[in-house]
């Protein structure tokens, strides 16, 4: 039943050739012939199905032709119709061709590779292979089925959990493991324990329902994007040299070593990769493994070379030499040595990670490291990873730890090119085998018994009859003899062909509808032209398959649709003037297969900037236009891409400038300014719910120079599986390139449509809530009109019973979706983790980046309903409670003068401090910047969560002095001002923005080589990084392009200078420095230590 791995080409690099490709001039559109077609339709030409009165079909004015709608045009324009924006003579597009001619930003990423890359670009639709929606395929490097996976011994979770043995909890003393084995009932739950993931409403247990139904509506959460990657967690070093003991800080050079660390090798693939591990200093003071290491059945880390990172997992069993007493600690607060405090470390090698080995789950490498996954039973950690790699048996144990229990699910995350593609399994009409009680899908952890005639569900424990045609004998090891030949029985992730029961209608086509703001400001700032240019270039990447359809409309105080049917040879402009009660002018012909209208569309895009060149209409009906676009695509669903430039001021969903109000409030004391971060009313939310119901996903590109109320606007993309892109202040000089690259990646990355997702788990746990960009209409499922490779959904859990020690807790995420080829698929990801009664194991197997991503999302989620001060306190308390729990129950040191950190979480204080000082949580800042941040974090991936607040800082003025053996990207510097000198140039990137700090006394030669200017005074703030003919310029471009590739994000580059506001922005990211917004890193550690001490006494 399994088919061969689908071939799929790799997604195009996020930013391949730069839009305006260097030398490649934009397609030459006949200048003014552009709309010659339109003229033909002048005159009466009543629109085909003119639906309602009020509809005003008009011939689009030819460029360069006065376009005042003469009365003769089309049906009488209703009063509301406003005259066509004038159209003066020379059609000089505001954002001239020049753009095409001169490369806006240096060499397009991967210039050299560009051609090659192009070949590999997978045509998102149209093409070929009935492949799997997702992963770029690479030849499976390893084929053999892993042996052990299937022997899932843990089957029934259902069984009544036996009580944990009762051992009297004895905390206090350094926990010999034994003691830990029992969750201490209540040792004082630290006050702050509250820090747990907020418990959302609890929907009941996932009912055993049938196949996920189609769309739903739900609530969405906010999420922000992020920046840079990297910072890794410090790999625990068990196995390694014994951690320095207490008080004396390890002798290691805090940073030095790290500096030299070579970066990870670059894998030669093009697709964006998750960040390579950034290099960071050596762990100065070791952290301590949970005191009980040795006692505990070691988790295996298959395949991990001894020194690899797995978070602190010992490579093999019990023999790990790490000292149970080692603890990272800083001595007395007053003695903290800034050179000895924990900082991220560099990981320099590519790790081969087998998800299970010897029948046990392996601990995943840090999300920010570079690794190649071999799926041997558990899914890739890129697809799904848990905040803790051992599941606490009881709610008390979890509460005591202060840690969150959640999964981060990124169903389409990009695989490493060397990974085997996900296998496709087709059960034909029978459909995938499922548990008849909980509906879980067949997976490697279901246990076959009774000669294979029955199987026990690993989630609910139900004994099911094996369908006759699926029966297979068991081997001596108890496994089915065919287990290694069936992906669904030996792989953590598979895709099933959806049978009829999963189809409520035919799979939808890939529909793209573009909406462009053409109001006065949009046109005058060049935003309209930038949008038209970006769309024109991006659609050239769309294959011409019949399933790829496009449509377009422009809007200001009215909405203008265009009928592009080729047969007409006369694109019609159809105006909808009613922006309160919107409708769509035609029932068909507004959305056509791209093959039937490409030329007309390109010509229209070429003409729009000119057509509206003299537009004096300042109003922009965003809500109405979005609704109208939705109506046009309601029958199919699809992606609605909106290019908005000003505050929506008219029609349904119009907004007001609340910013002034906010400023007043903030300055006069805080009169709940956070309310300005909530949507102004429910209008847009209601609309968004309807969009989601009809499978329409909205992405909003905000190319603006003013406040646009992102808090309100973002509700639409966040509810429909889309996102907000923000270009502020929009620059017609430097932003078009990013706009194009963002749009291009948006439509070409791996993605699925009309999706429904559900996570199931073993009895004893239940899903508490989902966070991300989706719509939720029923408690158990989330509806995703679109889900792409960048989106991550957080799923939180809570106990409703006890789990049994020595059993495993299973998680299964099922995503039903339509791929770009129009095939309905069910992607099923399984993760089975051991259960534990030992607190020390929770610390030892904690996943720092995943936990931090939880805290980040929860903070973002909380900002609109609380004060910033309160959120900062919560974030800090979460950190303190976790560390205090470790100190109290697991650390072996008794001296209270030491701050002891668990190895796996030793960077938690640093990242917590970074979060407190972030754009989202610091006091200063514009409302829209904060709202944008909130919207980004809501769907941010684990690998980008840390970089978003803890960026990467690298020197770029001396790139030419680096050796050939050095990694492409220099080792990151610690984030403090001691590392930035006025004679240097530094790049600070967080995955979203790239701040280039240029010192005041930089050698003019460097300025000339890097920017093409001879002095600081000549340096513009908006950078269009070009590649000049010199080594330094080439290297700078290489570095930036590599970062873009890693982040799947085209950085928005800005020049920062000391003494200017831009310099302050740069400094605000130097997390270790003391700043108006917060303490220095050392001060924060002292604070944390004191808080812990006071809780202990």
Listed ranges 267-275, 432-440, 579-587, 803-811: which one lies at the site for Zn ion (CB under 5 A): 432-440
- Considering the complex, state which of residue 122 and residue 158 has its C-beta at the smaller distance from Zn ion: 158
- Considering the complex, state which of residue 206 and residue 249 has its C-beta at the smaller distance from Zn ion: 206
401 SS3 class: helix
Closest CA to 133 of 1040, 822, 777: 822
Distance CA 621, CA 536 (A): 23
Q: Which of 123, 205, 437, 454: binder of Zn ion (CB under 5 A)?
A: 437
Contact status: 814 vs Zn ion (CB under 5 A) = no
β-strand partners of 726? 702
Q: Which of 274, 356, 462, 906: binder of Zn ion (CB under 5 A)?
A: 462
Distance CA 945, CA 960 (A): 31
β-strand partners of 811? 761, 831
Number of Cβ within a 10 Å radius of residue 318: 11
Long-range contacts of 329-332 (CB under 8 A, 24+ apart): 329/246, 329/247, 329/285, 329/288, 329/893, 329/898, 329/899, 329/900, 329/901, 330/249, 330/285, 330/898, 330/899, 330/1085, 330/1089, 331/246, 331/247, 331/248, 331/249, 331/897, 331/898, 331/899, 332/897, 332/898
- Considering the complex, state which of residue 800 and residue 1026 has its C-beta at the smaller distance from Zn ion: 800
Q: Which of 351, 438, 446, 652: binder of Zn ion (CB under 5 A)?
A: 438
Listed ranges 281-289, 454-462, 492-500, 911-919: which one lies at the site for Zn ion (CB under 5 A): 454-462
Q: What is the H or E stretch that residue 1083 is in?
A: helix 1081-1096
Q: What is the H or E stretch that residue 701 is in?
A: strand 696-703
Contact status: 456 vs Zn ion (CB under 5 A) = no
- Considering the complex, state which of residue 156 and residue 902 has its C-beta at the smaller distance from Zn ion: 156
- Considering the complex, state which of residue 435 and residue 625 has its C-beta at the smaller distance from Zn ion: 435
- Considering the complex, state which of residue 438 and residue 1019 has its C-beta at the smaller distance from Zn ion: 438
The distance of closest approach from Cβ of residue 446 to Zn ion in the complex, given in angstroms and rounded to an integer, is 8
The distance of closest approach from Cβ of residue 810 to Zn ion in the complex, given in angstroms and rounded to an integer, is 10
Distance CA 310, CA 234 (A): 9
What angle (nearest 5°) sits at the alpha carbon of residue 253, between those of residues 249 and 259?
A: 145
Distance CA 833, CA 388 (A): 9
The distance of closest approach from Cβ of residue 454 to Zn ion in the complex, given in angstroms and rounded to an integer, is 13
Listed ranges 397-405, 430-438, 601-609, 777-785: which one lies at the site for Zn ion (CB under 5 A): 430-438
Residues 1005-1034, one symbol each (x = binds Zn ion by CB under 5 A, - = not), give ------------------------------
The two tokens of residue 878 are 């979460």
The distance of closest approach from Cβ of residue 461 to Zn ion in the complex, given in angstroms and rounded to an integer, is 7
Contact status: 457 vs Zn ion (CB under 5 A) = yes
- Considering the complex, state which of residue 366 and residue 459 has its C-beta at the smaller distance from Zn ion: 459
The two tokens of residue 932 are 């944008």
620 SS3 class: coil
Q: 479: Cβ–Cβ under 8 A, 6 or more apart, which residues? A: 150, 151, 448
β-strand partners of 56? 575
Listed ranges 63-71, 284-292, 461-469, 794-802: which one lies at the site for Zn ion (CB under 5 A): 461-469
Q: State how far the alpha carbon of 266 is from the alpha carbons of 273, 368, 474, 952, in Å.
A: 10, 14, 44, 18
- Considering the complex, state which of residue 416 and residue 462 has its C-beta at the smaller distance from Zn ion: 462
- Considering the complex, state which of residue 440 and residue 856 has its C-beta at the smaller distance from Zn ion: 440
The distance of closest approach from Cβ of residue 456 to Zn ion in the complex, given in angstroms and rounded to an integer, is 9
- Considering the complex, state which of residue 501 and residue 506 has its C-beta at the smaller distance from Zn ion: 501
Listed ranges 153-161, 449-457, 826-834, 848-856: which one lies at the site for Zn ion (CB under 5 A): 449-457
- Considering the complex, state which of residue 435 and residue 944 has its C-beta at the smaller distance from Zn ion: 435
Closest CA to 180 of 172, 190, 170: 170
The distance of closest approach from Cβ of residue 438 to Zn ion in the complex, given in angstroms and rounded to an integer, is 3
Listed ranges 438-446, 573-581, 595-603, 808-816: which one lies at the site for Zn ion (CB under 5 A): 438-446
Contact status: 761 vs Zn ion (CB under 5 A) = no
120 SS3 class: helix
- Considering the complex, state which of residue 812 and residue 876 has its C-beta at the smaller distance from Zn ion: 812
The distance of closest approach from Cβ of residue 830 to Zn ion in the complex, given in angstroms and rounded to an integer, is 13
N- to C-terminal Cα distance for the chain?
Answer: 63
Contact status: 433 vs Zn ion (CB under 5 A) = no
With beta carbons less than 8 A apart as the criterion, state whether 183 and 396 touch: yes
Please classify residue 204 by burial: count the beta carbons closer than 10 Å to its beta carbon, then call 0-12 exposed, 13-18 middle and 19+ buried: exposed
Closest CA to 635 of 575, 580, 696, 554: 696
- Considering the complex, state which of residue 436 and residue 683 has its C-beta at the smaller distance from Zn ion: 436
- Considering the complex, state which of residue 207 and residue 1096 has its C-beta at the smaller distance from Zn ion: 207
- Considering the complex, state which of residue 462 and residue 723 has its C-beta at the smaller distance from Zn ion: 462
Distance CA 962, CA 1082 (A): 32
Q: What is the DSSP letter of 646?
A: S
The distance of closest approach from Cβ of residue 430 to Zn ion in the complex, given in angstroms and rounded to an integer, is 18
Listed ranges 267-275, 409-417, 435-443, 981-989: which one lies at the site for Zn ion (CB under 5 A): 435-443
The two tokens of residue 466 are 């094996």
Distance CA 194, CA 509 (A): 46
Listed ranges 108-116, 427-435, 945-953, 1027-1035: which one lies at the site for Zn ion (CB under 5 A): 427-435
- Considering the complex, state which of residue 433 and residue 996 has its C-beta at the smaller distance from Zn ion: 433
Listed ranges 452-460, 732-740, 783-791, 1006-1014: which one lies at the site for Zn ion (CB under 5 A): 452-460
Contact status: 435 vs Zn ion (CB under 5 A) = yes
- Considering the complex, state which of residue 212 and residue 364 has its C-beta at the smaller distance from Zn ion: 212
The distance of closest approach from Cβ of residue 459 to Zn ion in the complex, given in angstroms and rounded to an integer, is 5
Listed ranges 428-436, 502-510, 735-743, 980-988: which one lies at the site for Zn ion (CB under 5 A): 428-436
With beta carbons less than 8 A apart as the criterion, state whether 700 and 713 touch: yes
- Considering the complex, state which of residue 395 and residue 435 has its C-beta at the smaller distance from Zn ion: 435
Listed ranges 37-45, 431-439, 494-502, 727-735: which one lies at the site for Zn ion (CB under 5 A): 431-439
Contact status: 460 vs Zn ion (CB under 5 A) = yes
Q: Which of 425, 440, 901, 944: binder of Zn ion (CB under 5 A)?
A: 440
In degrees rounded to 5, what are phi and psi of residue 178?
A: -50, -45
The distance of closest approach from Cβ of residue 457 to Zn ion in the complex, given in angstroms and rounded to an integer, is 3
Number of Cβ within a 10 Å radius of residue 269: 18
The distance of closest approach from Cβ of residue 437 to Zn ion in the complex, given in angstroms and rounded to an integer, is 5
Listed ranges 44-52, 276-284, 460-468, 711-719: which one lies at the site for Zn ion (CB under 5 A): 460-468
Listed ranges 50-58, 189-197, 457-465, 1022-1030: which one lies at the site for Zn ion (CB under 5 A): 457-465
Handedness of CA 889, 895, 897, 901 (dihedral sign): negative
With beta carbons less than 8 A apart as the criterion, state whether 35 and 599 touch: no
The distance of closest approach from Cβ of residue 812 to Zn ion in the complex, given in angstroms and rounded to an integer, is 10
Residues 380-419, one symbol each (x = binds Zn ion by CB under 5 A, - = not), give ----------------------------------------
The distance of closest approach from Cβ of residue 800 to Zn ion in the complex, given in angstroms and rounded to an integer, is 16
* DSSP letter string, 482-525: TGGG-HHHH-SEEEEE--GGG-SSSPPPEEEEEEEE-SHHHHHT
Which 198-257 residues touch Zn ion, going by CB under 5 A? Answer: none
Give the binding-site size for Zn ion (rule: CB under 5 A): 8
- Binding region for Zn ion (CB under 5 A): 435, 437-438, 440, 457, 459-460, 462
């Amino acid at each position: 039943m399994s088919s061969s791995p689908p071939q799929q080409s790799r997604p195009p690099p996020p930013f391949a050739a730069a839009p305006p490709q260097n030398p490649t001039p934009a397609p030459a559109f006949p200048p003014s012939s552009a709309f010659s077609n339109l003229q033909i339709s002048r005159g009466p030409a009543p629109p085909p199905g003119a639906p309602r009165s009020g509809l005003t079909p008009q011939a689009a004015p030819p460029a360069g032709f006065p376009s005042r709608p003469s009365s003769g045009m089309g049906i009488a324009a209703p009063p509301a119709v406003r005259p066509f924006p004038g159209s003066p003579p020379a059609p000089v597009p505001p954002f001239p061709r020049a753009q095409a001619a001169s490369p806006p930003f240096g060499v397009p990423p991967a210039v050299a590779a560009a051609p090659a890359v192009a070949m590999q670009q997978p045509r998102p639709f149209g093409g070929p292979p009935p492949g799997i929606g997702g992963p770029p395929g690479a030849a499976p490097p390893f084929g053999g089925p892993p042996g052990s996976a299937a022997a899932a011994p843990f089957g029934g979770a259902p069984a009544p959990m036996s009580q944990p043995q009762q051992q009297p909890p004895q905390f206090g003393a350094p926990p010999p493991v034994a003691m830990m084995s029992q969750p201490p009932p209540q040792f004082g739950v630290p006050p702050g324990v509250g820090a747990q993931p907020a418990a959302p409403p609890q929907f009941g247990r996932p009912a055993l329902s049938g196949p996920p139904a189609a769309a739903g509506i739900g609530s969405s959460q906010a999420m922000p994007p992020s920046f840079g990657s990297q910072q890794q967690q410090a790999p625990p070093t068990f196995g390694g040299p014994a951690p320095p003991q207490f008080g004396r800080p390890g002798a290691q050079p805090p940073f030095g070593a790290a500096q030299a660390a070579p970066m990870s090798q670059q894998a030669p693939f093009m697709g964006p990769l998750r960040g390579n591990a950034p290099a960071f200093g050596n762990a100065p003071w070791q952290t301590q493994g949970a005191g009980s290491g040795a006692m505990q059945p070691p988790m295996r880390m298959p395949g991990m070379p001894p020194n690899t990172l797995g978070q602190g997992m010992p490579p093999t069993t019990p023999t790990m030499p790490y000292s149970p007493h080692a603890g990272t600690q800083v001595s007395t607060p007053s003695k903290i040595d800034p050179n000895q405090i924990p900082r991220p470390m560099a990981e320099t090698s590519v790790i081969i990670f087998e998800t299970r080995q010897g029948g046990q789950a392996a601990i995943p490498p840090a999300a920010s490291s570079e690794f190649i996954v071999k799926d041997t039973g558990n899914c890739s950690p890129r697809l799904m990873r848990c905040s803790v790699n051992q599941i606490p048996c009881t709610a008390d144990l979890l509460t005591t730890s202060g840690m969150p229990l959640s999964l981060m699910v990124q169903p389409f995350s990009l695989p490493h090119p060397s990974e085997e593609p996900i296998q496709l399994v087709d059960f034909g009409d029978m459909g995938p085998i499922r548990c008849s009680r909980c509906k879980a899908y067949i997976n490697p952890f279901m246990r076959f018994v009774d000669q294979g005639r029955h199987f026990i569900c690993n989630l609910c424990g139900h004994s099911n009859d094996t369908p006759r045609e699926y029966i297979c004998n068991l081997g001596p090891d108890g496994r089915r003899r065919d287990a290694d030949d069936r992906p669904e029985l030996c792989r953590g992730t598979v895709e099933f062909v959806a049978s009829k029961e999963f189809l409520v209608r035919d799979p939808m086509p890939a529909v793209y509808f573009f909406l462009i703001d053409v109001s006065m400001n949009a046109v005058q700032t060049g935003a309209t032209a930038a949008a038209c240019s970006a769309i024109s270039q991006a659609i050239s990447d769309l294959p011409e398959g019949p399933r790829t359809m496009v449509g377009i409309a422009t809007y200001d105080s009215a909405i203008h649709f265009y009928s592009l049917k080729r047969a007409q040879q006369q694109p019609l402009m159809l105006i909808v003037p009613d922006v309160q009660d919107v409708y769509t002018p035609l029932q068909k012909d507004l959305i056509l297969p791209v093959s039937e209208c490409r030329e007309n569309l390109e010509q229209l895009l070429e003409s729009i900037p000119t057509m509206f060149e003299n537009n004096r209409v300042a109003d922009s009906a965003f809500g109405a236009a979005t609704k109208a676009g939705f109506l046009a695509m309601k029958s199919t669903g699809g992606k609605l891409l909106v290019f908005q430039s000003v505050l929506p001021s008219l029609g349904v969903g119009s907004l007001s400038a609340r910013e002034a109000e906010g400023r007043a409030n903030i300055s006069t004391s805080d009169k709940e300014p956070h309310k300005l971060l909530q949507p102004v009313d429910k209008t847009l939310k209601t609309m968004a719910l309807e969009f989601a119901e009809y499978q329409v996903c909205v992405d909003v590109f905000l190319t603006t120079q003013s406040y646009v109320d992102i808090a309100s606007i973002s509700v639409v993309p966040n509810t429909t599986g889309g996102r907000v892109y923000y270009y502020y202040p929009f620059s017609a000089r430097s932003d078009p390139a990013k706009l194009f690259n963002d749009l291009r990646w948006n439509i070409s990355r791996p993605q699925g449509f009309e999706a429904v997702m559900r996570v199931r788990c073993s009895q004893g746990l239940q899903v508490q809530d989902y966070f991300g960009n989706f719509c939720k209409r029923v408690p158990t499922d989330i509806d995703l009109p679109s889900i792409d490779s960048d989106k991550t959904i957080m799923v939180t859990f809570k106990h409703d019973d006890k789990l049994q020690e020595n059993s495993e807790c299973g998680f299964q995420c099922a995503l039903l979706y339509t791929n770009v080829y129009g095939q309905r698929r069910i992607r099923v990801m399984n993760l089975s983790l051991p259960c534990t009664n030992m607190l020390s194991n929770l610390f030892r197997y904690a996943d720092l980046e995943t936990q931090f991503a939880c805290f980040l999302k929860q903070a973002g989620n909380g900002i609109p309903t609380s004060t910033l001060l309160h959120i900062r306190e919560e974030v800090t308390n979460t950190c303190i409670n976790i560390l205090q729990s470790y100190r109290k129950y697991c650390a072996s040191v008794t001296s209270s003068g030491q701050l002891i950190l668990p190895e796996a979480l030793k960077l938690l204080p640093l990242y917590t401090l970074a979060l407190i000082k972030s754009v989202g949580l610091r006091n200063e800042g514009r409302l829209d910047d904060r709202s944008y941040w909130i919207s980004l974090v809501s769907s941010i991936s684990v690998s980008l969560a840390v970089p978003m607040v803890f960026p990467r800082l690298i020197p770029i003025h001396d790139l030419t002095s680096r050796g050939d053996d050095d990694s492409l990207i220099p080792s990151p510097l610690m984030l403090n001002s001691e590392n930035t000198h006025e004679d240097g140039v530094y790049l600070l990137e967080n995955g979203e923005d790239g701040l280039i700090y240029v010192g005041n006394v930089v050698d003019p030669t460097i300025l000339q080589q890097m920017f093409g200017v001879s002095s600081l005074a000549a340096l513009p703030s908006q950078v269009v990084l070009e590649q000049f003919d010199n080594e330094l310029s080439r290297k700078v471009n290489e570095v930036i392009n590599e970062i873009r590739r890693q982040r799947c994000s085209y950085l928005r580059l800005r020049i920062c200078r000391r003494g200017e506001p831009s310099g302050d922005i740069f400094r605000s990211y130097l997390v270790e420095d003391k700043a108006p917004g917060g303490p220095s890193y050392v001060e924060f550690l002292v604070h944390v230590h004191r808080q812990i001490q006071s809780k202990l006494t």
